[in-house]
Amino acid sequence: MNNKNMLFLILVCGVAAFGKSYTIDGIIRTSVDDRRVSLQDEKYKFIKNTFPGIPLIDKIELKAQEKAFDLNNVEYSLKLQLRGIGETVSSARYRKAMIQKSKHKSQLVIGSTLSDRYQAIIDLLEQESKHKLYQELMDVYEDKIKVMEKLSTVDPKFEIIDLIKVENDNLKALASDMECRKFADLASSKLKTLLNDQDFTGIDTTGIYPVDSLLLLVESKLESNAFTLDDDNVHIRKYKIDLDIEEERYKLEKAETRKYLSHIGFAYDNGEHLDQIARRNDEKDYNLNEAFTLEVGITFPFLTTGPHSVVKRKSDVIKAKDEYETFKEELQYLFTEDINDLKYYIIQYRILKARELEVDAAASLKKYLEFKGADPLVLLSIKENIIKNQLNRADVIYGLYRNYIDVLNMSGELIKWPTKNFLLQQ
């Protein structure tokens, strides 16, 4: 083992001794405790418990007016601003739609937290896997360079261009490895944030779906059309609820324009009441009812700008309907695209696996090692091809995992089963 690998092993062991490893199941289950979920739940409870108001009445105003700084000469009035015809019913429906929107938003937030965790898990596993392969590939290139440098001193036919090519390949592998480490650090940092645990060091992959088993599962679901977008899809329902809200807001606006009786007022003048009692005591004409006043307000909606707001609300309904239909089409397109990508990854994986079995580079390497005087460059080239094939397979394997989760997310399965680990073999 060279010094570089030894140092890497020491660092890994050191971090593992003080860090914390999570199972995939453990990471997924933290989604329901995510800060975003609790915050949205608070919003939902607040909206749900908001006072809906008094039926038929929009506002209540109670007023006391003192006259001439005389506490016995006070006029009390009660003014009720009324709602339009059908406004109470429309307002209740609008409020119900808003509550439904907030409740549905809670589901979408859970879906988002789940998707974030799945994608971060897959990203980290992919980059760690490829990092390991690139390390092995660079070891092969370094061995090749050493062999070629020796050959250049003893073999007059040696082509220096071959050495330059291997050195360039080594630099490319180093650049790719650095990129892997960068993306691995990003995925690890994201998981630390999602888990709210800065001691997170890695993922325990015990029980994860082997790629061949996952491939068979996906194929069976594709054959049975288990991956579908139904009309009640959780993502589509968001836009349907938005459309319902705009329709109820439009109906509410129309009801508000039918407010012909704007208000009813009741007033009692204590000073006038005392005056009438005094007139009665003086045996003069009196009327105690003069202390009471009834006021009725009438509006003429057709003479106001109310109809303009109704037109605007109708425009909002049309816009929401267009967004609803457009999103359905776009989601169906993206879903079909992801399904096709799944099929593509399956085909690509089978081709790579068949090619690997056909060539069987590992067996060729073992067989070649049995020969005495085997060319070390040939041995290293066989190793190089094995690792490159493994890198290609890694791209396909993790692409399959990632696309599988994307399809489950679009179809609403992730949200439907938030505590289920879809990467765990059942």
Query: Which string of DSSP letters, residue by residue, matches 18-81?
Result: HSEEEEHHHHHHGGGG-HHHHHHHHHHHHHHTS----TTEEEEEEEEEEETTEEEEEEEEEEEE
Cα–Cα distance list, 42 to 37, 112, 123, 139, 234 (Å): 9, 17, 32, 55, 21
Which domain, by its residues, includes 120? Answer: 3-33+83-260+299-416
Q: Is 397:349 a contact under the CB 8 Å cutoff? A: yes
70-82 and 57-67 beta bridge pairing = antiparallel
How many angstroms separate the CA atoms of 425 and 78, rounded?
69
Q: Which residues pair with 80 in a beta bridge?
A: 60, 264
Task: Output the domain CATH number for residue 251.
Answer: 1.20.1600.10
Q: What string of DSSP letters covers 365-381? A: HHHHHTSTT--HHHHHH
What ranges in 201-284 are assigned the alpha helix state H?
A: 211-223, 234-256, 270-281
pLDDT value at residue 367: 61
Q: How far is CA 244 from the centre of its chain?
A: 22
Q: How far apart are the first and last CA of the chain?
A: 38
Q: Taking the CB of residue 94, how many other CB atoms lie within 10 A of it?
A: 22
- Please check whether residue 59 lies inside any domain of the structure: no
- Who contacts 261 (Cβ-Cβ below 8 Å, separation ≥6)? 82, 296, 297, 298, 299
Residue that the structure tokens 């992730």 belong to = 414
Angle, helices 306-359/376-411, rounded to nearest 10 degrees: 150
**What domain count does the chain have?**
1
- Who contacts 158 (Cβ-Cβ below 8 Å, separation ≥6)? 148, 151, 152
- Please check whether residue 285 lies inside any domain of the structure: no
Q: Any idea what the Cα angle at residue 383 is, between residues 381 and 387, rounded to 5°?
A: 115
- Who contacts 362 (Cβ-Cβ below 8 Å, separation ≥6)? 386
Among the listed residues 352, 351, 329, 349, the one whose alpha carbon sits nearest the alpha carbon of residue 341: 349
Residue that the structure tokens 């979408």 belong to = 108
Structure tokens at 98: 């808003």
- Please check whether residue 273 lies inside any domain of the structure: no
Over its length of 426 residues, how does the chain's per-residue pLDDT go in tens digits?
A: 455 555 545 544 544 445 688 999 999 999 988 999 999 999 999 888 886 766 767 788 888 787 767 777 788 888 877 776 677 788 888 888 999 999 999 999 999 999 999 999 999 999 999 999 999 999 999 999 998 888 888 877 778 888 899 999 999 999 999 999 999 999 999 999 999 999 999 999 998 989 999 999 999 999 998 898 887 899 999 999 999 999 988 888 887 777 777 778 888 888 778 887 887 888 788 787 887 888 887 777 666 666 778 888 889 999 999 999 999 999 999 999 999 999 999 999 998 888 777 665 556 656 655 555 567 888 888 889 889 999 999 999 999 999 999 999 999 999 999 888 999 876
Among the listed residues 246, 215, 255, the one whose alpha carbon sits nearest the alpha carbon of residue 87: 255
pLDDT in tens, 70-107: 777 788 888 877 776 677 788 888 888 999 999 999 99
pLDDT value at residue 15: 45
Q: Is 27:118 a contact under the CB 8 Å cutoff? A: no
How many angstroms separate the CA atoms of 409 and 394, rounded?
22
How many angstroms separate the CA atoms of 74 and 67, rounded?
6
